Amino acid sequence: MKKFAVVLAGCGVYDGAEIHEATLAMLAIAQAGGEYQCFAPDIDQHHVVNHLTGEEMPEKRNVLIESARIARGNIKPLSEFKEADYDAILFPGGFGAAKNLSTVAFDGANAKVNPEVEQAIKAMNAAQKPIGAMCISPTFVVKVLGEVDVTIGSDQGTIEVIENMGGMHVQTEHGDVVYDASNMVFTTPCYMLEATITDIWDGAYNLVDAMMKSMNGEVEE
């Protein structure tokens, strides 16, 4: 049974992990016969957003504690992640990926990546294990690894950020997966495109399916 580490960025699209992407990624892993363990960095969120009004709220929340809502409490601090214990790592999207796991939302190509996130990506890359990234998350994968083929759909501003980081962008539609064989990186656009929840399922299913096939030696390079 292949074991995935799923790294969350909080709870909610505007300031944390995108809940549909995170949940459907976990469902896709389970349906593919794998298992998953959720992780999140034990840090404060950049800010808290009222998801009803879109306005910032005057309070603090913790990324690990908020992510535990999605994981139903079964979550570990990202500091405890060990590459040897997992066959693959997967990053759902949401603005938290660009605000908490990295500073892409504020700094673009000059973004910084959370040190624990960077360490996890580098460890999996060095071990030639699959790295999956949904929605906006491919940006910080490129920031860490450099010359990687990825997709975030068709948003020109984000494409320019990726290219300025040294990555190569491939324009895609819903359900498409870009596979960088040399780096074992798998990406799909999800809510970076205008989407329904069924579109998100298509992306999550196809992403996990491609990652599983690579682990089983079934993906052509």
Q: Which helix (H) or strand (E) holds 218?
A: none
Q: Is 130 left (phi over 0), alpha (psi -120 to 50) or beta?
A: beta
With 0-12 / 13-18 / 19 or more C-beta atoms within 10 angstroms meaning exposed / middle / buried, residue 109 is: middle
- 190 carries an active-site annotation: no
What are the DSSP calls for 130-189, one per residue?
Answer: -EEEETTTHHHHHHHH-S-EE--TT-HHHHHHHHHTT-EE----TT--EEETTTTEEEE-
Catalytic residue among 11, 38, 135, 190: 135
With beta carbons less than 8 A apart as the criterion, state whether 36 and 92 touch. no
Cα–Cα dist 121/197, whole Å: 28
Q: What are phi and psi of 57, to 5 degrees?
A: -110, 145
SS3 labels along 52-91 = CCCCEECCCCEHHHHHHHHCCCCEEEHHHCCHHHCCEEEE
> Which among 9, 177, 183 is positioned nearest to 93, based on CA atoms?
9
Active site members? 135
